[in-house]
């Protein structure tokens, strides 16, 4: 199964499960969790089902396209279902069957892995799902987001698309993956991996980016005061990515680290709070 068919299959499967198919978010994020269809929509009482591909940038994981397993940017398939259905594990297993992974011929295991994102003020309990020893999905019952306890509890499924594709295609290097018939992953992505690795590790202008962080931080605060929650949150994502770049560049000392993360978290929490407030007002208007 080539890379794009893998994506289409998951899209089809989750569409049939009643998920809205969202498009990848158009800002740099480290994971699908950061995208608004997850960050905002897991908050509050409204039911929500969504699936989307999220290109995820992790500057410190860049390896100049030389490491067969590590990427500056990989792809996740992200599913959120709120409230988490009681039979969610079975529903998930069936998605593997749809990919041709039969749990009677492959060893599927749910291995304890509790998840936490200090940047988003988020945490959850769940597992890494292993398939023949390979971690293919992160399966998490969210408990908190933006510092708020979540009610009802959503489930997040994050498929590591490259890993699953490598598993299905039995290749040892991500760059040997078949993206589509006759087109390799390397052809599409390798140069980009090299360029962005060099950029992250060698070229990111440290002073300018430090300043950028502060500017986006300030802007986010301003926008929050104006009640513009989505643009305010975009600035949080910008801050987060700028921080990741500075970190990869080695420009952040250990003592500064916690401070930067704390600043992003503070804004993320404020966004969550403002979002919830807006939702309540909307509901209030509806019933008045």
Partner 1 sequence: MAMERRNMLLEIGTEELPTTYIQPALDQLRTWGERWALASSITVWGTPRRLVLFIKDLPQFKTETVFGPPLQRAKDENGNWNKSAIGFARSRDKTVDDLQAGIKNGKKYLKLEVRLNSQRGLRDELIILLNSIKFPKTMRWIPDSAFRFARPIRWLVFMWGEHVTDLQVAGVRADRYARGHRFFGDKPVKLSSADISDYQRILRREYVIVDPTERRKKLVAGLLKQQEKYRPGIRETDLDVELVDEVGNLVEYPRVISGSFDESFLNIPSPVLITVMKTHQRYFPVRDGRGRLLPKFLVVANGPFKKTKSIRENNERVLRSRLADAEFFWEEDLLRSLEERVPDLEGVIFHARLGTYLDKVRRLEKLATFIAGRLGLSEEQVKNVKRAVLLCKSDLTTAMVTEFTELQGTMGMEYARKQGEAEDVARAIFEHYLPRSAEDVLPKTAVGQVLSLADKLDTVVAFLGAGITPSGSQDPYGLRRQAQGVIRLVAEKQLSLRFNVLVEKAVTGLKQERSSHKDAARQVLDFFRNRLEAFLETRNVPPDVVQAVLAAGWFDLPDVMKRVRMLQDLAGTTELMAATTIVERTFNIVHPEKLTGREKVRQDLLKEPAEKRLFSALETSTSIRKVIEEKKYREATKMYARAFSGLLSAFFEDVMVNVEEKSLRKNRMVLLSLINRLYSERVANLALLQFKRGEHMV
Closest C-alpha among 91, 61, 85, 81 to residue 73: 61
Q: Which of 64, 141, 148, 199: binder of partner 1 (CB under 8 A)? A: 141
Element (H, E) at 75: strand 73-82
Helix axes 229-248, 206-225, angle to 10 degrees: 160
Query: Is 91 an interacting residue with respect to partner 1 (CB under 8 A)?
Result: no
Single out the segment in contact with partner 1 by CB under 8 A; choices: 20-28, 71-79, 149-157, 222-230: 149-157
CA dihedral (248, 62, 236, 84) positive or negative? negative
Q: Which is closer to partner 1, CB of 171 or CB of 212? A: 171
Is residue 167 a contact residue for partner 1 (CB under 8 A)? yes
**Do the beta carbons of residue 92 and residue 157 sit within 8 Å?**
yes
Given 8, 15, 18, 114, the residue binding partner 1 (CB under 8 A): 114
DSSP state of 235: H
Look up residue 26 and give its DSSP letter.
S
Burial class (CB in 10 A: 0-12, 13-18, 19+), 255: exposed
Chosen residue from 38, 138, 143, 200 binding partner 1 by CB under 8 A: 143
Nearer to partner 1, 125 or 183 (CB): 125
Among 110, 148, 199, 209, binds partner 1 (CB under 8 A): 110
Cβ-based nearer residue to partner 1, 12 or 103: 103
Enumerate binding residues for partner 1 (CB under 8 A): 67-69, 83-84, 86, 89, 93, 103-112, 114, 124-125, 127, 131-134, 141, 143, 151-153, 167, 170, 172, 253-255, 258
């Amino acid at each position: 199964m080539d890379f794009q068919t893998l994506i289409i299959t998951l899209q089809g499967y989750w569409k049939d499960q009643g998920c809205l198919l969202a498009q990848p978010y158009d800002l740099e994020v480290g994971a699908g969790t950061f995208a608004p269809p997850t960050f905002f929509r897991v908050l509050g009482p409204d039911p929500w089902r969504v699936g989307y591909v999220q290109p995820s940038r992790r500057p410190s994981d860049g390896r100049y396209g030389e490491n067969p397993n590590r990427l500056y940017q990989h792809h996740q398939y992200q599913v959120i279902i709120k409230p988490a259905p009681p039979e969610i594990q079975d529903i998930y297993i069936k998605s593997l069957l749809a990919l041709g992974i039969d749990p009677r011929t492959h060893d599927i295991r749910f291995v304890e892995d509790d998840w936490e994102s200090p940047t988003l003020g988020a945490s959850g309990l769940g597992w890494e799902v292993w398939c023949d020893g390979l971690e293919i999905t992160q399966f998490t019952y969210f408990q908190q987001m933006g510092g708020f306890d979540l009610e009802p509890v959503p489930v997040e499924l994050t498929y590591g698309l490259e890993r699953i594709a490598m598993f299905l295609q039995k290749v040892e290097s991500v760059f040997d993956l078949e993206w589509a018939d006759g087109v390799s992953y390397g052809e599409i992505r390798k140069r980009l991996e090299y360029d962005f690795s060099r950029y992250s590790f060698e070229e990111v202008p440290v002073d300018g980016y430090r300043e950028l962080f502060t500017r986006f931080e300030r802007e986010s605060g301003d926008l929050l005061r104006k009640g513009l929650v989505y643009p305010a949150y975009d600035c949080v994502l910008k801050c987060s990515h700028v921080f990741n770049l500075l970190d990869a560049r080695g420009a952040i000392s250990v003592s500064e680290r916690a401070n930067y993360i704390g600043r992003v978290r503070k804004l993320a929490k404020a966004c969550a709070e403002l979002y919830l407030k807006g939702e309540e007002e909307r509901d209030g208007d509806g019933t008045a």
